[in-house]
Amino acid sequence: MVLFFPSALNFTSIGPPIQGSISFSIHAEIIRFLTRIVPSLALLWYIIIPGRNSDRENQEKEQLIPLKFSKGDLFSLGIALTGLISIVHGLSFMINLLYPYINFALPPKIEAPNNIYGWIVLVFTCLASAYLEESYFRYYLIGKLEKEVPKALPRLVFSTVLFSICHSYAGLFAIINAALAGILLSLLFIRFKSLHGIGLAHGAYNLYVYLTSSV
């Protein structure tokens, strides 16, 4: 969990609306990609993937969730991406509607890259970050813990709560959005038993946020 908590306990952004914007830096994204995302993803998959020294039968028993692309990935990709976009816009609409009556902090604007090289870097970082989060919060906490916790609901709740907390650095809006998104992604993972669909949808959603927030 330490991989996802560098700023998770910072609740200072829950308060007055955040002004200004977050600038995009190719250099900073490359550093984050090489020093945090890639090593974290490699470590996580080293833990998740069955032992190399075990025989094939034991590996098949241990690996309960298939890692190959399937038709279920296409369905979960479409449903997840549509749902994630609908959640963030629906939540934004509700916040704007209730804004005169509540003091609710909205996330700052995020600047998009201004050249093709920046977009290439952003695509890689968004997809890798999404796969990192989905690999842990869905594939590991919900899929690999099925033997220890047979009932799906406790695993779904546990995964969603942790997923929400890890987005607390961005404020209350991000916590609620992450909670709703976490429920959707968890249900799709349980239904389709697939990582790639929700991973790609999560990455595409991250790119969508950059596009819409920078307008």
Which pairing describes strands 21-22 and 109-110: parallel, antiparallel, or unpaired? Answer: parallel
Q: Which residue has the higher pLDDT, 59 or 24?
A: 24
Tokens of 133: 């989060």
Percent of the chain with pLDDT over 90: 47
Q: What is the pLDDT of residues 86-125, one digit of tens each?
A: 999 999 888 888 777 776 666 667 788 889 999 999 999 9
The amino acid occupying position 133 is: E
Residue in the block written with tokens 């990609």: 33
Q: Which residue has the higher pLDDT, 83 or 150?
A: 83
3-state secondary structure of 80: helix
pLDDT, residue 55, reads: 45
Mean pLDDT computed over every residue of the chain? 81
DSSP category for residue 23: P
Q: Which sequence spans correspond to the domains of the chain?
A: 74-215
Predicted TM-score (pTM) above 0.85: no
Q: What is the CA radius of gyration of the chain?
A: 18
Neighbours of 111 (CB within 10 A): 15
Ordered DSSP codes for 89-137: HHHHHHHHHHTTTS--PPPPEEPPPSSHHHHHHHHHHHHHHHHHHHIII
Q: What is the pLDDT of residues 3-46, one digit of tens each?
A: 565 544 443 333 444 445 678 889 999 999 999 999 999 998 88
Counting runs of H as helices and runs of E as strands, what totals does the chain give? 8, 2
pLDDT, residue 114, reads: 86
Q: Which residue has the higher pLDDT, 98 or 198?
A: 198
- Residue 190: burial class (beta carbons within 10 Å; 0-12, 13-18, 19+): middle
